[in-house]
Structure 1
Amino acid sequence: MTATSVPDDVDPTLEPDVFSRDCASRPVLQNATSRWGLLALVALGDGELRFNALRRRVDGVSERMLSSTLQSLERDGFVNRTVLQAIPPRVEYSLTDLGAEVADRLAGLIELVEGRLPEVRKAQDDYDAR
């Protein structure tokens, strides 16, 4: 079983409950909210991007990690991968409707955290001072 697959013993007819150890939504949520998954989804919220442009936008991600992240997001139905007929072949990534909805909510979380960063830094300083 891979990190993104559903365990064989999970009943697919059960209601999702992310707090349940065997819930099928857990690996999907993990893919979308991982460090690179979150950033890739929100970056693609601005429009389709070729792989290298997305890699530049998500500063710090390795080629291998971005490729793996995009495969997981594509498998979960958040990302479309389009191979363009060109020499050399080009690949563009875009969000599905579901991916756009998820990216929008994640962008809201990013905005909240960035907007409240001074409070976070103060809390970190207070914690570290104890």
Structure 2
Amino acid sequence: MTTISINGKIQEATCEQELSAIRDSLEILGGKWKLRIMRHLNSREGKRNTFKKIQREIEGISAKMLSKELQDLEINLLVSRTVLDTRPVTVAYAMTEYGCSVLPVTDTLVEWGLNHRQKIKS
């Protein structure tokens, strides 16, 4: 069981609350691209992450899908968008402080994925 704070009181989350939390998390982070985009932005922290660079470096993502996913991540306060004063106009993206709270989840997924790949191969 997971502990949660409700009105300042620490309580154990019910199974229903845990399942709702998983649903909420998957609605925000689910799909093929969002976690990959966030992992990519984190790996290039401190570098200029323009739309075109992100699209080039995340294999297989279309411009339309990248745009949609970045908008969703921005709406959920996980990614920030900065319009740069260039000609033509360039837009850069970065992880927000809140977005960085997702990184332990991606670390765990990477570790599990690497271990799973090894297990399946052997």
TM-score of the two chains, using structure 2 as the length reference: 0.73
> Which residue pairs with 1:41 in the alignment?
38
**Paired position in structure 2 for 1:85:** 85
Aligned ranges 1:45-124 → 2 under 5 Å: 45-46=42-43, 47=45, 48-121=48-121
Q: Which secondary structure state, in structure 1, belongs to the residue aligned with residue 54 of structure 2? A: helix
Query: Is residue 42–residue 104 contact of structure 1 (8 Å, CA) maintained in 2?
Result: no
Q: TM-score, normalised by structure 1?
A: 0.69
Give the drift of 1:107: 3.1
Q: For residue 27 of structure 1, report the CA deviation from its aligned partner.
A: 4.7
Q: 1:29 aligned to 2:64?
A: no
**Is there any run of 5+ residues in structure 2 with no aligned partner, and where?**
1-6, 8-12
Task: Tell me the CA shift for residue 104 of structure 1.
Answer: 3.9
C-alpha RMSD of the superposition: 2.4
Cα distance between partner residues in 1 of 2:113 and 2:80: 28
Deviates more, 1:61-70 or 1:105-114: 105-114
| Count of aligned positions | 106
**Structure 1 counterpart of 2:4:** none
- The whole-number CA distance in structure 1 between the counterparts of 2:80 and 2:99 is 9
Q: Report the secondary structure of 2:92's partner residue.
A: strand
CA distance in 2, matches of 1:28, 1:81: 22
Secondary structure of the 1:91 match is strand
Q: Deviations over 1:41-96 (max 9, x none)?
A: 10011225111111122110110001000000000010000000111000000000
- Structure 1 residue runs of 5 or longer lacking an equivalent are 1-12, 123-130
Deviation, 1:17, is 2.8
Deviation at 1:18, TM superposition (A): 5.1
